[in-house]
Amino acid sequence: MSHIVHDLIARGEARVVDHRAVAPVRHQVEADRNFGLPTALYATTIACYLGFLAVVGSAFANPVLAIPLAIIVLLIAAAFGVPAIWTRLKDNASEPETLGEFEARGVMTNTGRLSARDAATQVLILPVLLVCWGIAVAVIAAIVA
């Protein structure tokens, strides 16, 4: 390939153009750091995780659990806080969808487009089941004790 280019330059048939004069630098990958879901779904997920910790923490209240529960709360804050900061970086031109936009368009996945109801069900099934499991464990512990 380079041999052909050098031959064109030697014969005077090649045009050498400064690339900065033609067009501004464009990155191959556009910086879209949003995950295609509205903020309300993330807030609901965080509320479910913290609700589980509140249920379990109150059911098994013990001073020994204070440090592990605090560490878990910090991990949840980091797991959702870092991506929230990441979506607000300088090069990110897009904004998170509103609930109305999410309801109208749904979300595109690798297997096709999902409606808003189906996507919300997939996102929230684990956090809601976790809260239900925490309540069930607390009820069982209260009955046994």
Model confidence over 101-136: pLDDT tens digits? Answer: 889 988 888 888 889 999 999 999 999 999 999 999
Assess contact for 134 and 55: CB atoms under 8 A.
yes
pLDDT at 2 over 60: no
Q: Which residues, listed in sequence order, are joined to residue 113 by a DSSP beta bridge?
A: 108
Q: DSSP assignment of 124-136, as one string?
A: HHHHHHHHHHHHH
Helix (H, G, I), strand (E, B) or coil at 91: coil
Residue count of the chain, please give it.
145
pLDDT at 15 over 60: yes
The mean pLDDT of the chain is 85
In the chain, what's the furthest Cα-to-Cα distance?
A: 93
pLDDT of residue 83: 85
pLDDT at 1 over 60: no
Q: Which residue has the tokens 């904004």?
A: 95
Residue 134 main-chain phi, psi, to 5 deg: -60, -40
Instruction: Count other Cβ atoms within 10 Å, centred on residue 55.
Output: 20
Model confidence over 33-53: pLDDT tens digits? Answer: 677 788 899 999 999 999 999
Segment 47-65 mean pLDDT = 94
